[in-house]
Structures are given as structure tokens and as C-alpha cells.
């Protein structure tokens, strides 16, 4: 405690042993000396007003000029606020500090005790195992977190961040030296080298790994928090976003992935995690047997019911009516962690169950029902198991009851084997959902009613997300209607939406005649599917010409044919905003 005594008894504060470490003015050091003496008398915190009045007696308000010194000491990290609602120092004015209480920080007390703030590290020696190596790496993340907190709260002075950065540099150098001395295979270090991960990618990975070991849902998984961890300023924040976007080494290399969901403010947030196979290889390196999760595509040949769809577009890519989009956004919020926790707490939802929703998409053909189902799946990071309901009678004549059950049994079996939650899409489900016959006049009517009853039972007990598409909602049996908790209408696009559709669907590289007007095309009442078909047919017609230039008349001719019903046999799956 020699350093403490020296500081307390110093007549000239600038002559004390630790003054050189303080990086502050003489008057600021005298404030610290005053507080240290009060601390030795058993007083942990002092009101700033009392501190200044005691130290600077004389003119009535002379002490106010020293408020800035108190703020500087707080920014340097030698003082901290003793308050349940601490102020953000970088944003507070000195006068706001007058009636707050301050005390000596742990960093300053350590300086008084040891005479130095240098990191006390053990001697360099090889790592005993990969867990000891992880311990150092996790401590490394703690220092990155401290630096991030300081950067967000301190702007004028840099001593606080310099001290932490000094510790971090010592630690990183020590880790490297210990790795070089270690003959045993360190799984994580080997993994970094194999994947050619730079320092920032390593920090992101270790931060996520630390969350896995601590088994929490901490905000360290959130995109902006991870970016703050590795960014010195706003320019670096913008630059470092690329490390967590599609095409980055971490994502394209199958190292990490993310869950995307709507936050309570209507924006989209990403929560990152380490891919399961990678995580297991790091946490359990002693297990030579590789545990592989079965993928849905590996099992598709074993069944003849579903088509597996890997969605390529998200809800952002689809042009939708505002009311329809609002309903889908509300559905998306079901996967928000706060919402899920709230429902579990209320006893409405089982903690282990995923999102539960039985949805009907209804509206005219070509309005984007199927494409939106795919896009919703993409936004929820799900695959789609699609069943074409129009084939049910031709496929299962005479065995309707057994085979309707088989649709759902196979879906549950595939979900269980792969430990995934795909979306069940029942396309063109009109005959499943239509009103049942009251007066049965034939065996066909009887079979149809039996099939519908089984289907009704399966819908009632369905767990997961099911989407059924149909053209006409008014034909749906009321018993079915009650069992769907979302009924989402797909209306024909209005004028402004048709402009968007033409703009997005028209070939970007194609030549157009002078004065070509999209607004002239958008005045025709067409669905997205019809616009898509008209563009394709027009393109085939124009492409064979010696001078392939698109004209307004070319499109109007194809629009007329479509309006006359020449292409009724053609169908389109939806429309995109590409």
C-alpha cells in the first residue's frame, strides 16, 4: 500500500508516484486525492457540489468553473457515478453533474494499490488443452466488449480505451506466443487457419462461440452489436457490415448463419449463430464420428407426395397490396423472441413449439399467392414441402381416406427425421376446402365428403405452418374457414402497383422504341401473372426479328390476346420485384 500512502500524503500532487499514469491536470489530481482521503474515512461517494465547495472556498460561485474537471475524470475512468440512473458522460453537460454523487472507480483503486495498470499475465507456457485456449479467447472478447462500451460513452478523452487496448494487445501477443509453444492440436486455431479467417472474422466467431458456452440469448448475437465490437468509428461500422452480409466469408463458407425477424419497431433484425456442424467440431473435437443432420433433399426420393421448394425470393421481392403486406408482417412478428417469450409466459404457446399458423391465401389467379408463400418461407428461413391438391382425386381414387392422412403423416415424418420445420403448402386446395355435399347422390360424392372430413380433422390438429391457396373464398366450407387463423386476400394490383410490376419485369437490357411508356401499359387491368406472361410472349415475338426493338404496339397486341382469353391454359406462379 506504499503507493496509496504516497498519494494521500503528497504535498505536491505532481510529485506523487502515480501522477504520471493519471494523464490529467494538477487540479484534477487534487480532486482524486480529496476523494481518496474521504474514501479512507469510509465515505465511498461524495456529492459533486460538496466536493467543489470544500475544495474551492472563496468567491460564491467560483467552484462552478471546476465542473468540467469532474467530467474529465469521469471520462478518463478514474471516477464513476454512484447512481441508479447513471448519465451518459459523452452527452451530459458539466452542470448536470452538480447534484450527482461520484466515487473512485475500480481502475483508480487498483492503481492506488498496485502502482500500475499493466495487465498481470502468467508466464508464457504451452496450452494444456483447447479449453484453456478458449478461456483466453473468451477473455479477449470481454476486452473487446469493454472497448466497445467505452467508445459509445467517451469521445473527448481516450485514456480509458487506451488502457483496455493495452491489455488487449498484451493478451493477443500472449495467446500467439502460447500457441507457438503448444504442440497439441488446438482445434479452434487450426479452424481459423483452414478457413483463412482474419482478425475481425475471428472476433465475431469467438463472440458467438462464447454465447454458445454461456447458453444465453444475449444481444451479442445481434448484427449491430457484433459490428460495434470490431469497429473503431462510424466509417469502420459501415465497412465492417460486409463481414455479416450475404457473400461474406463467414456466411458463404457455411461457418455462421442468422435468423431474420421483425423487431418491435417494424425493422428487420438479424441474430447470428454458428452452424451446427461447425459448432460440434469445436465444442466436441474428441468425437471423430461426424454427426450429420439429414437434409430434406436427401429424403425426397423416398416419397412421391411432395415437391421440395428452396425459396429464392423474400417478401421484399414481392409486390403486394398494403393490407396484405401488413398481415404478413404481423405473422412474421410471431417469431420475434420477445413475442414468443410473452406467449409462453401466458401459457398460450409451448416453449418448444415453433410458429403455429394455418393460413389461406385467396384471390384471382396470377395475383402472386404461390410466389408469396415461397417468399414468406424465405423470410422465415424455411423450406417448403408443396403438394398439388388438384391431383388428389386422380392419384388416390378409391383410397382417399388413407391417402389424405398419408399427406400429413409423410409431412410429419420428414420434419421429424430432419429436425426442421418446413412450411406445408397445399396448392389449389379448392376441392379440399369447398362446401361438402348435403345430399349424397353418388359414390363419388361420398368419397369426396369422406376425404374432406379427414382433411378437416388433420387441419384441426395441425402443428406448424400450413398455407393453402385457393381462388374463391366464398366457396369454402364454413367448418374449414373457422380452422384457419389467417385469411389473406390477394387483390388485383392497382395502377401504381402495375407500374412497379412492368418496371421490374421488363428486360433491362432490351432495346425499346423512342417514347416507350410504361404508364400506357399500366392502364390495362392485369394481374402480375398476366403481365409476366405477356412480357415473355412479346419477347419471343420480338427476338426473331432482324431489328429486335420492343414497341408499345407489340405489348398492346399481346394484352389484347390475353384479354380475349387466348391463353387461358397458361398459368403463372406469381410476380416479382426484381
Most confident range, picked from 1-5, 186-190, 348-352, 552-556 = 552-556
Residue entry with cell 378409391: 398
**pLDDT value, residue 219:** 64
**pLDDT value, residue 298:** 80
The CA–CA distances, whole Å, from 269 to 221, 231, 240, 275, 314 equal: 10, 19, 16, 18, 15
Name the pLDDT band for 215 (thresholds 50, 70, 90): low
**pLDDT value, residue 466:** 92
Distance CA 451, CA 456 (A): 9
Domains in the chain: ranges and CATH: 2-114 (1.10.10), 130-283 (no CATH), 296-490 (3.40.50.300), 495-563 (1.10.8.60)
**pLDDT value, residue 499:** 92
SS (H, E, C) 402-468: HHHHHHHHHHHHHHHHHCCCCEEEEECCHHHHECCCCCCCCHHHHHHHHHHHHHHHHHHCCCCEEEE
Residue entry with cell 460495434: 228
In the chain, pLDDT over 70 holds for what percent of residues?
82
What residues form DSSP beta bridges with 243?
none
Q: Considering only residues 338 and 253, tell me which one the structure prediction assigns the higher pLDDT.
A: 253
Using DSSP bridges, classify how beta strands 465-470 and 357-363 pair: parallel, antiparallel or unpaired: parallel
The mean-pLDDT minimum among 101-115, 156-170, 280-294, 382-396 falls in: 280-294
Whether residue 155 is predicted with pLDDT greater than 50 in this model: the reply is no
Can you read off the three cell numbers belonging to residue 66?
471546476
CB 502 within 8 A of CB 525: no
**pLDDT value, residue 353:** 58
Condensed to tens digits (0 to 9), the pLDDT of residues 71-103 reads: 888 877 788 887 655 556 666 788 888 888 999
Average pLDDT over residues 494-513: 91
- Cβ–Cβ contacts within 10 Å for residue 20, how many? 8
Q: Considering only residues 482 and 32, tell me which one the structure prediction assigns the higher pLDDT.
A: 32
How are the residues of the chain apportioned to helix, strand and coil, as percentages rounded to the nearest 5? 55, 10, 35
- Contacts of residue 500, defined as CB under 8 A and 6 or more positions apart, other chains included, come to 319, 493, 577
Distance CA 157, CA 69 (A): 12
CB 284 within 8 A of CB 302: no
Condensed to tens digits (0 to 9), the pLDDT of residues 239-294 reads: 999 999 888 999 988 899 888 766 555 566 788 889 888 888 888 766 544 444 56
Amino acid at each position: 500500500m506504499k503507493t496509496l500512502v504516497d498519494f494521500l500524503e503528497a504535498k505536491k500532487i505532481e510529485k506523487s508516484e502515480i501522477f504520471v499514469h493519471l494523464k490529467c491536470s494538477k487540479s484534477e489530481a487534487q480532486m482524486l486525492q480529496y476523494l481518496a482521503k474521504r474514501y479512507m474515512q469510509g465515505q465511498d461517494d461524495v456529492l459533486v457540489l460538496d466536493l467543489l465547495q470544500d475544495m474551492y472556498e472563496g468567491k460564491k460561485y467560483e467552484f462552478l468553473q471546476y465542473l468540467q474537471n469532474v467530467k474529465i475524470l469521469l471520462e478518463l475512468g478514474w471516477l464513476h457515478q454512484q447512481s441508479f440512473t447513471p448519465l451518459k458522460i459523452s452527452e451530459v453537460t458539466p452542470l448536470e453533474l452538480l447534484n450527482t454523487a461520484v466515487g473512485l472507480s475500480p481502475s483508480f483503486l487498483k492503481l492506488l494499490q498496485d502502482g500500475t495498470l499493466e495487465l498481470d499475465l502468467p508466464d508464457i507456457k504451452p496450452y494444456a488443452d483447447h479449453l484453456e485456449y478458449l478461456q483466453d479467447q473468451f477473455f479477449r472478447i470481454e476486452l473487446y466488449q469493454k472497448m466497445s462500451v467505452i467508445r459509445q460513452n467517451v469521445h473527448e478523452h481516450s485514456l480509458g480505451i487506451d488502457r483496455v487496448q493495452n491489455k488487449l494487445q498484451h493478451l493477443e501477443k500472449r495467446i500467439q506466443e502460447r500457441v507457438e509453444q503448444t504442440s497439441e492440436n488446438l482445434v479452434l486455431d487450426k479452424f481459423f487457419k483452414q478457413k483463412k479467417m482474419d482478425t475481425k472474422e475471428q472476433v465475431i466467431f469467438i463472440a458467438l462461440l462464447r454465447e454458445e458456452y454461456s447458453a444465453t440469448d444475449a444481444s451479442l448475437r445481434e448484427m449491430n452489436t457484433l459490428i460495434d465490437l470490431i469497429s473503431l468509428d462510424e466509417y469502420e461500422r459501415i465497412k465492417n457490415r460486409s463481414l455479416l452480409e450475404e457473400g461474406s466469408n463467414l456466411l458463404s463458407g457455411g461457418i455462421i448463419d442468422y435468423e431474420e425477424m421483425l423487431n418491435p419497431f417494424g425493422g428487420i433484425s438479424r441474430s447470428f449463430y454458428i452452424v451446427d456442424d461447425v459448432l460440434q467440431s469445436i465444442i466436441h473435437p474428441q468425437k471423430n464420428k461426424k454427426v450429420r443432420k439429414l437434409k430434406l433433399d436427401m429424403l425426397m426420393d423416398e416419397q412421391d407426395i411432395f415437391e421440395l421448394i428452396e425459396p429464392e425470393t423474400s417478401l421484399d421481392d414481392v409486390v403486394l397490396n398494403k393490407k396484405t403486406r401488413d398481415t404478413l408482417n404481423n405473422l412474421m412478428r410471431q417469431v420475434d423472441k420477445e413475442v414468443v417469450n410473452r406467449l409462453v409466459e401466458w401459457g398460450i404457446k409451448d416453449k418448444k413449439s415453433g410458429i403455429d399458423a394455418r393460413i389461406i391465401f385467396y384471390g384471382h389467379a396470377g395475383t402472386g399467392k404461390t410466389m408469396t408463400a415461397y417468399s414468406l418461407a424465405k423470410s422465415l428461413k424455411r423450406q417448403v414441402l408443396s403438394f398439388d391438391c388438384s391431383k388428389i382425386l386422380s392419384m388416390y381414387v378409391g383410397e382417399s381416406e388413407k391417402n389424405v392422412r398419408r399427406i400429413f403423416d409423410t409431412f410429419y415424418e420428414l420434419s421429424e427425421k430432419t429436425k426442421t420445420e418446413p412450411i406445408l403448402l397445399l396448392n389449389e386446395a379448392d376441392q379440399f376446402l369447398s362446401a361438402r355435399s348435403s345430399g349424397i347422390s353418388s359414390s363419388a360424392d361420398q368419397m369426396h365428403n369422406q376425404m374432406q372430413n379427414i382433411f378437416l380433422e388433420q387441419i384441426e390438429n395441425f402443428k406448424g405452418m400450413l398455407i393453402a391457396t385457393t381462388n374463391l373464398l366464398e366457396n369454402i366450407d364454413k367448418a374449414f374457414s373457422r380452422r384457419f387463423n389467417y385469411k389473406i386476400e390477394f387483390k388485383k394490383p392497382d395502377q401504381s402497383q402495375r407500374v412497379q410490376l412492368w418496371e421490374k419485369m421488363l428486360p433491362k437490357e432490351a432495346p425499346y422504341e423512342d417514347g416507350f411508356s410504361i404508364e400506357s401499359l399500366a392502364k390495362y387491368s392485369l394481374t402480375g401473372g398476366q403481365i409476366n406472361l405477356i412480357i415473355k410472349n412479346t419477347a419471343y415475338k420480338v427476338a426473331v426479328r432482324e431489328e429486335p426493338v420492343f414497341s408499345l404496339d407489340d405489348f398492346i397486341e399481346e394484352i389484347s390476346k390475353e384479354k380475349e382469353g387466348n391463353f387461358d391454359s397458361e398459368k403463372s406462379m406469381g410476380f416479382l420485384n426484381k
